[in-house]
Each structure stands twice: as C-alpha cells, then as structure tokens.
Structure 1
Amino acid sequence: MAQETSRQVQFVIKISKFCNLRCTYCYEFAELGQRERMSLDQLRSMYVHMRDYYVKKDQEDGVRTHVHIVWHGGEPLMIEPDYYWKSLDDQREIFGESLKVSNFIQTNLTVLDDERIRLLRDGFDHVGVSVDLFSGLRVNIAGRDQQKNVVANMERLRAEGVPFGCITVLTRRNLGRVKDTFSFYTKAGIGFRVLPLFDGAYENQHAAYDITVPEIVGALNEMADLWLESDTPVQVSPLDSHFQIVLRHLNPDAPRVYFNQREWLSVMVVNTPGDVYAYGDPYEDPEASLGNIFTTPLQELLSGPRFDASATAAETRMAANCLNCKYFGACSGAPIASNRDNVHTVVDDIAVCDVERVVLEHIENRLRNSDILDPDGRVAAVTAPTVDPVA
C-alpha cells in the first residue's frame, strides 16, 4: 500500500524577473526588465536535488512528502508555454512515483492566448491570479492600468473551465475598499488571499500608499467579520488559517503543533540564479542565502552555518513572542518564526507578533459572542474554511 502524504514543502521558484507590468509597489521593481531565466538544465538539477533529499527523508521518517512547486516571477506567462511543457516532462521523468508533486503558477494574467489557456488548464494543478481590483497600481510600462484586461481574462478562464484563486495586495489605495473587495470575490465565488504590502525595492518606494500595522489589523478584522456574516463565504487567506488556530485553541482535545525549522523547513524561495532562502529571511541578501540549489544538494543547504543562523533567528522570534502567548500550540508559531508577509513591528531587531495575535483575539471574541460556542467555550457547530495548501 502506498504511503499516505503527511507533510508538504513548498518551493517558490523565481523563474525570471522579467515582467510586462510595472506595479508601483513591486519589491522586484528594479529587476523587472531583466530577461534572464532559469534554464531547463538548471531546473533538472533542482528536481534531482529535491528528489534525492525528500525520498531519503521519507524513507528515514516513514512518511511521504508532497512537493509544491510555485512558478513565480516577474510574470511567468511571459515565457513561452513549450518551456513549461518540457520542464513538466522532466519532472515526470525525474520524480516518477517517488514523490507527489503539484505545480502552481502565480500570474498577472495580462498575457493570455489559446496555448496559455491549455497550459493553465492541463499543465498546472493550481492557478493564482494577482489582481488588486481598486488600487490602480497594477500598470503596464506606459503607466496604464491593466485592471479591465485582467478581469476580462479571468472571465475567459472561467468560460474555459480553468479554476483559479486570486491574490490582492493591501495598500492605502484599497484600504477603504475591504467590503467591496470581499463582495467582488464572494459574488464571483472566487477564493482569495489578502497580502499586506511587502517592503519595497528602494527607499520611499511606498511613500504614497504604505499602511501601518493597526491598519493591516483593522482590514483583516473587517474581512473576518464579513466572512462570519456572509451567507456564501469563500475561502479567504490568511484568515482561513487564523480560524483554524482559534478553533484549535477553543478545543482542549485538539492536537498541538509547534514550528521547528530544524526539523522541517516548509517554505523556501529560489531566486533566478538558484540561491535559496528560508521564507521570511532577507530575500536577495547574499548573506541570508542557504546556497545554490542548482549546484548543491539540499542536504548541504539545510545544514551548516547559514541554515543554523536562519533557524536561530526563527527560534529567537518565537521565544520573544510565542512562549507567553495563549494561542501557542494551537498556532505553531510559524507566522512569526518565518516573519511572514514582512509586516511586523521590529523592536531591538526582533519582529513583534502584532498582526496575527490581535486578529486571533478578534476572531475568538466574535465566536464567543455568537451562538457557535457552547456555554463551556467549546465549539458547538462550525465549518472552518479549508486551509490553503500554499503558505
């Protein structure tokens, strides 16, 4: 009998930085004109290193790993479809039945034709569309907003039977449109992720539309309220995982989970030249790179002084934030360990969990003031949102 999948790992692959848009807030802004891409041979080397490491780990641990490969950019659909078909063939040859592998793609969906529709439908397992709806910041090189084009292409995907989710970046431009954003996705029946604005590529890049931690918390709390009050809710990340955490917290019999990067690093970013970063580490800082996945086995990348420094930093953030938090155990500590979404306040060089914890408390208070809980605080009846497999 085949082993059951019991853990997953995600590789976010920066296949190329080249992009046809110039979104004003993009953290890759300085490199969006670079046409360099990962070669098929480099990708093959990466697949071999993934296979060798995770097959060995599975044999040692008696479980089976599900590898998620997320094709990212730049704009990945600027690359011709044949490139992806060849690399997907290479995956089948190299991984075979030894690992379960799923392929995701994150696209701005401004470039779409019949061949790319076939690729999205038949080549990839999951499609994510980046669209902000109300910000006006996703513009082409000439500065023209591409919103109408993207929405039209979303409709074309629906007509062609290609399922997809969306990512919306939260900025000052759409901060006052949280309800409109939720309504758009709910009416369309599309699950989505709210992604607070990342740090920019250069100083003062976000001066006109940066947002504060309290504003991020307020927007997420408003989104949680809308979800609870909706008759037809869709999946909303990261709130899906937040609801799961609160429900585990309220259930004393629920299993407890704890993030340990030394035991399992679940998300890595692979930059175009092949340098690997633990998710949340200073991206593109050579000192933070774990090494090059094209030339170096994963066993070496996930050990040694650079990995140890990354793991120690994650442990320091957890020690400063999690040990006295009532949600620790229901929450694994992963959000602060990986400094997720880069939105936390920093005090004495240590990130503060001032987003997740406050949102969790808001959700708990909403549940306690509803008829969802029994008098003893246990969940009476609730269907939590399905957890998005992409971190």
Structure 2
Amino acid sequence: MAFGLRQSAAMQWVIKTTKLCNLRCKYCYEWEHLSDPTRMPEGVWRHALVAIRDYAELTTRRCGYDIPLDIIWHGGEPTLLPRTYFERVFALQRDVFPRDWIENRRVRNVLQTNLYVVRDEHLDVFEEFGIELGVSVDFSEGVRLTAGGRPTEAAVRANMRRLQDRGLPFSIITVLAAHTISQIRQIFEEIARLNKPTRLLPLFSGPATRPMDGVTVAKSDILDAMMVFLICGSRPV
C-alpha cells in the first residue's frame, strides 16, 4: 500500500482560492460561506507567491539546501474556477519563481477537490499544468452531499477511475467521524485497493449551524479508528 509521505520534507502553503462549493458536507467548517463566489484576486496571488519565493530563498540560505514547495489550492471547490483563472495564476508563477524552480519541479501545485463534477477540460487543465490532486472522499454515504441533498460517493468513485485512466496523480483525504468510523475496516479495504497516499482527518470544529446529525463522535472513538487503520495497514493486503 502507499500510505507514505514524500521522501523529502516539503514546505506547504495553503491558498484559499475560493469558498464557493457545489457540495454541502455536513461537517464543513466553511458551512456559512459555501455560496460565496468571491475568488482570490490576482494581486493577492502575486503577493502570496512573492512571499513564498522570498521565504524559500531565506530557508535555503539558512539550511544550505532547497526545500520543496507545495502550493495547495484550497476551497470551497477549486474546480469551479474557470480555465482562464488557472492560466493567469500559472503565468504569475512563471513570472515570480526562478525558472529552474519550475523546470526542476521544486514547486508542486496540489489541488484539493471533492471530485464530484469533473469534465474532460478539468482533466486537461490538471495534465497541462502538472497539478496533483487531493481527493476528499469518505466512502460512506449521508454526509458529503450535493447542495440538493444527493449522495456523491458513486460519482467520486467513477471520477477517481477517470483519473487513473489518464494517469493523473492523486491522493486521498478521508474525515474520521461517526459515519466513517462505523465502517473503518471496509473503508480501509477500499483505500487499499486504490493504493494511493492517504491522509486521515479527525472531525474538526466549525460553526454551530452545521447539521451534525450522524457525524459527531467522541475523540476516543477517533483514536480507536486510527489505531484500527494503522493495524490494518501493517498487514499484507
């Protein structure tokens, strides 16, 4: 299985590109802002990229070696952004970062997505710009829902197969809450079959307006589920 990290440590920069989202996951900490169409402006992107460059150069001087940089596109749902937005941001990266950082892949762009609606043009963008994906998927129905209240798991599974068919790299992000903990062994087995790097996120705090029925769980249960996952992962699959 591929429950590993990159061989070298990376400096990660999480960029909140938009809060607009096509899902209404019950536990989302952005629950009250998911209809906000505001995007991170290009001017703010430039300031952020300059700060990333300057800090990376400082760490190189102090550490004596180059630390890889991960720019994580976060939302909301970044796939709701138009292609032109991606083109402008990558043009900014080419303008701000030294050329060898781009060519040698010191800078890696990772997009966190619910992967619910993925058109061919999205796949083209990911491939063209070398974007890696972090797919948020719980494998258990009832919590990650569309704005109309429909389940999303079947569509996400189908879209992960499309990523595999195109050879596009992705990892998996799964939230540990009541709906996943109750099926943790089955979820482990499905993730094992996918054989992708995986991150488990404990249920996080958020606004009181979230509809948390079927989600809330004790911290001790989360720890127990993590142990089950680790024990399963230490055995041959």
Q: TM-score, normalised by structure 1?
A: 0.55
Say whether the 8 Å CA contact 2:20–2:36 is kept in structure 1: yes
Alignment correspondent of 2:219? 213
RCO higher in 1 or 2 (8 Å CA, sep ≥ 6)?
A: 2
The superposition leaves residues 160-181 of structure 1 with CA deviations (integer Å, 9 ceiling, x where unpaired) of: 1112111111111121211100
Alignment correspondent of 2:121? 115
Alignment correspondent of 2:98? 96
Give 4+ residue runs of structure 1 displaced > 4 Å after superposition.
none
Which residue among 153, 168, 177 is the counterpart of 1:162? 168
Alignment correspondent of 1:199? 205
Which residue among 45, 55, 58 is the counterpart of 1:56? 58
The superposition leaves residues 211-241 of structure 1 with CA deviations (integer Å, 9 ceiling, x where unpaired) of: 112101110111111111223xxxxxxxxxx
CA distance in 2, matches of 1:59, 1:213: 42
The superposition leaves residues 336-383 of structure 1 with CA deviations (integer Å, 9 ceiling, x where unpaired) of: xxxxxxxxxxxxxxxxxxxxxxxxxxxxxxxxxxxxxxxxxxxxxxxx
The 10-residue stretch of structure 1 (53-62 or 20-29) with the greater mean CA deviation from structure 2: 53-62
Alignment correspondent of 1:133? 139
Alignment correspondent of 2:67? 65
The letter of the residue matching 1:109 is L
Q: CA deviation at 1:120?
A: 1.7
CA distance in 2, matches of 1:106, 1:84: 14
The superposition leaves residues 89-108 of structure 1 with CA deviations (integer Å, 9 ceiling, x where unpaired) of: 21122112475211101000
Q: CA deviation at 1:195?
A: 1.1
CA distance in 1, matches of 2:77, 2:203: 18
Alignment correspondent of 1:10? 12
The superposition leaves residues 77-133 of structure 1 with CA deviations (integer Å, 9 ceiling, x where unpaired) of: 000122112211211221124752111010001121121101222324421111111
Alignment correspondent of 1:44? 46
How much is the aligned-residue C-alpha RMSD, in angstroms? 2.0
CA distance in 2, matches of 1:202, 1:160: 41
Alignment correspondent of 2:4? none
Q: SS of 2:56's equivalent?
A: helix
Q: SS of 1:36's equivalent?
A: coil
Distance 1:57 1:104, change over 3 A: same
The letter of the residue matching 1:151 is R
CA distance in 1, matches of 2:179, 2:10: 35
CA distance in 2, matches of 1:49, 1:150: 35
**Sequence identity percentage:** 33
Say whether the 8 Å CA contact 1:136–1:147 is kept in structure 2: no
Alignment correspondent of 1:173? 179
CA distance in 2, matches of 1:49, 1:98: 18
Structure 2: which 5+ residue stretches go unaligned?
1-6
Say whether the 8 Å CA contact 1:78–1:111 is kept in structure 2: no
Kindly name which structure, 1 or 2, has the bigger radius of gyration based on alpha carbons. 1
Which residue among 87, 108, 129 is the counterpart of 2:89? 87
Structure 1: which 5+ residue stretches go unaligned?
232-391
Which residue among 75, 78, 83 is the counterpart of 1:76? 78
Q: TM-score, normalised by structure 2?
A: 0.88
Distance 1:6 1:151, change over 3 A: closer
- Pair 1:105-2:111 in alignment: yes
CA distance in 2, matches of 1:142, 1:16: 20
CA distance in 2, matches of 1:61, 1:225: 36
The letter of the residue matching 1:183 is E
Say whether the 8 Å CA contact 1:6–1:63 is kept in structure 2: no
